[in-house]
Amino acid sequence: MADYVYGPGRNHLFVPGPVNIPDPVIRAMNRQNEDYRSPAIPALTKILLEDVKKIFKTTTGTPFLIPTTGTGAWESALTNTLSPGDRIVSFLIGQFSLLWIDQQQRLGFDVDVVESDWGHGADLAALERKLRNDTLHTIKAVAIVHNETATGVTNDLAAVRRLLDAYAHPALLLVDGVSSICALDFRMDEWGVDVALTGSQKALSMPTGMGIVCASPKALEASKTAKSVRVFFDWKDYLRFYEMGTYWPYTPSIQLLYGLRTALDLIFEEGLDNVIKRHNRLGTATRFAVEAWGLKNCCQKEECFSDTVTAVVVPPYIDSAEIVKHAWKRYNLSLGLGLNKVAGKVFRIGHLGNLNELQLLGCLSGVEMVLKDVGYPVKLGSGVAAAAAYLSNSTPLIPSRI
């Protein structure tokens, strides 16, 4: 089938999700429906549930494969562990943390918002003050976005866990890992994360439609007394079907299950730690290109630079939305818009998922042409050269081809 709006060649998809889908995953999903109550789908699901724990780096967590988006996974994490009126400390650092906070408020929680300027990470000094003063343990959860996709900022989850431990605070740690899990270093057990979640359309490189939630034993215990109303997202229903060995309280997407099987196989074949290193290479190369263009990263601190998305700040005389629009219209290149407070001020280059060095260099060359077209005095080839120089010195041989 042709594209809805045709362009020759292939679309160069460099938004920070949804991302490119590898051909083996597409082929795995190209199949008929099946009876999910037959022996085949429970057998597939059982193995998937065990294997998906590996991407969270947990041995004790319980995963749920919910037919939803990241937004639904958010709701699942909140409503299964908390009761209306519960106090949540939640960090506002960009558009997606803002949307999660909005959901928390609309679900009836008492949200204690800790706001930072966009481009900065979570204010952990403020968290420390709140934990120190909360001797009655009124804070029931700390909610944090690991990787804020709107600004390209990665938060330090290990530091959050250290603060909770330092004050022996029992609050649950709820983490949005939508644009981090399977791409950035994520250690659910080691960092004491109680609920972690991601979406299939990000680093897993699948279509949108599967929200993957993983709950610690502590979170499962909290779910037994949480009074938030939940039906579709109720873990209790899933757990009952897990015990029965049929696994599904309602109809799953058969095609996405087969896609997940292949997506995990590709990640495990490369090696999860190698996948994380690859994302670091691609992120670093992109930042070298941005520097060579004479532009700035929206993220203000090097230790918070994201390896899955770079938000590039444009000069005030350029509307970043025009860069995104022109890239798509002239070069069939899809870049991310600036959102909300940074709308018109930044464009975003996504570099996550099943992506290699040459694909990234193609994107960077396209960005240079777009910058020139919209009147920015870029030297063509400058960013590509900087990125290529770094990549030629840092890219290892493909492990399966040695």
Residue boundaries of the structural domains of the chain: 12-19+272-401, 23-268
Residue 229 has a pLDDT of 98
Q: What is the pLDDT of residue 217?
A: 98
pLDDT in tens, 162-197: 999 999 999 999 999 999 999 999 999 999 999 999
pLDDT of 1 > 80? The answer is no
User: What does the DSSP assignment read for 334-395?
Assistant: EEBPP-GGGTTTEEEEE--SS--HHHHHHHHHHHHHHHHHTT----TTHHHHHHHHHHHHHP
Sole residue written with tokens 């429906």: 33
pLDDT, mean over the chain = 97
Query: What integer is the mean pLDDT of 309-319?
Result: 98
User: Is residue 150 within 8 Å of 340, Cβ to Cβ?
Assistant: yes
β-pairing verdict for 153-154 and 172-176: unpaired
The CATH number of 23-268 is which of 1.20.120.550, 3.90.550.10, 3.40.640.10, 2.60.40.3140? 3.40.640.10
Query: Within the chain, what is the greatest distance between any pair of CA atoms?
Result: 64
Q: Supply the pLDDT for residue 399.
A: 83
HSE toward the beta carbon, residue 108, CA cutoff 13 A: 10
78 phi/psi in degrees, rounded to 5: -75, -50
pLDDT at 5: 87
The 3-class SS string of 304-334 reads HECCCEEEEECCCCCCHHHHHHHHHHHHCEE
- Whether 12-19+272-401 shares its CATH topology with 23-268 is answered no
pLDDT bracket for residue 312 (50, 70, 90): very high
Q: What is the pTM of this model?
A: 0.97
Cα-based distances in Å from 60 to 57, 219, 260, 302, 332? 9, 11, 21, 33, 44
Calculate what percentage of the chain has a pLDDT beyond 70. Answer: 99
C-beta atoms surrounding 398 within 10 Å: 10
**DSSP one-letter code for 68:** S
12-19+272-401 fold: Aspartate Aminotransferase, domain 1 (3.90.1150)
Q: Percent of the chain scored above 90 by pLDDT?
A: 97
- In angstroms, the CA 358 to CA 339 distance is 28
* CA distance linking residue 81 with residue 84, whole number of Å: 10
Q: Which of 2-16, 281-295, 355-369 has the lowest mean pLDDT?
A: 2-16
Q: Is 230 annotated as a binding residue?
A: no
CA torsion, points 163, 168, 172, 173, in degrees to nearest 10?
20
**Cβ within 8 Å of residue 50, ≥6 positions away:** none
Say whether pLDDT at 58 is over 60: yes
Strand partners for 176: 145, 197
